[in-house]
């Protein structure tokens, strides 16, 4: 059911996790079972891959346009990843919120730090694996990365996990069903925050003469 603009202001959710923690699977399950929740589409300077569509997977723009957007302060977060620029446009988030839609950002620790500075009202969640050994096992069983790449990802994970205290919520992805339920609970609770309900409450108070 579509949420009404006049009732609730949308929330911004940030989800981060080390590679192999199961973030993509959890986000897919969350999006599939949560109405009124949109996935944030990033801008990037890299070329589209096969089957990728502009506006659906990414907004594909030139480096010149991207840097112009940076200079105008149009991104809430951006990063240079292996020579390609990626960023989340502030306008996209603002429009979703005004429409009463929640919007979900899948970004790394550095991206979250930028969002936290610029949009302190954002709700952030860090996904943790149950142990280092389990994370290592999951990465190996993907059979998609060379041993050197797995070692690099594990080293990065050890650094990223030290930032757990910067997030509002922590979800340990030990059991997929329980972790999914936890994420859905966080989304549901955020929709009843005072800041999200302000417009709705204002209309009620006016009827009381307040």
Predicted model pTM: 0.85
Three-state secondary structure call for residue 2: coil
| Burial class of residue 191 in the structure, from the number of CB atoms within 10 Å of its CB (0-12 exposed, 13-18 middle, 19+ buried) | middle
Residue 74 has a CB neighbour count (10 Å cut-off) of 17
Domains of the chain: 12-40+100-207 (3.40.50.300)
Three-state secondary structure call for residue 13: strand
pLDDT in 10s for each residue of the chain, 210 residues: 444 444 578 999 999 999 999 999 999 999 998 888 999 999 999 999 999 999 999 999 999 999 999 999 999 999 998 789 999 999 999 999 888 899 999 999 999 999 999 999 999 999 999 999 999 999 999 877 899 999 999 999 999 999 999 999 999 999 999 999 999 999 999 988 887 787 778 888 888 865
In the structure encoding, which two tokens stand for residue 60, read together? 């594909």
* CA separation for the pair 150, 109 (Å, rounded): 19
DSSP state of 61: -
CA 12 to chain centre: 8
DSSP state of 208: T
């Amino acid at each position: 059911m579509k949420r009404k603009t006049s009732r609730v202001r949308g929330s911004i959710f940030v989800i981060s996790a080390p590679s192999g923690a199961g973030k993509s699977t959890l986000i897919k399950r969350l999006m599939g079972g949560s109405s009124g929740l949109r996935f944030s589409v990033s801008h990037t300077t890299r070329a589209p891959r096969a089957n990728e569509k502009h506006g659906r997977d990414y907004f594909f723009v030139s480096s010149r346009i991207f840097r112009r957007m940076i200079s105008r302060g149009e991104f809430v977060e951006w990063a240079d990843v292996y020579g390609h620029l990626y960023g989340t446009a502030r306008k996209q988030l603002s429009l979703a919120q005004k429409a009463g839609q929640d919007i979900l950002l899948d970004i790394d620790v550095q991206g979250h730090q930028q969002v936290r500075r610029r949009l302190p009202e954002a709700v952030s969640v860090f996904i943790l694996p149950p142990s280092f050994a389990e994370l290592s096992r999951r990465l190996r069983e993907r059979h998609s990365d060379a041993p050197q790449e797995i070692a690099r990802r594990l080293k990065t994970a050890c650094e990223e996990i030290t930032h757990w205290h910067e997030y509002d919520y922590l979800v340990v992805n030990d059991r997929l069903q329980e972790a999914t339920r936890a994420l859905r609970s966080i989304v549901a609770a955020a929709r009843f925050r005072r800041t999200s309900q302000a417009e709705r409450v204002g209309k009620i108070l006016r009827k009381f003469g307040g």
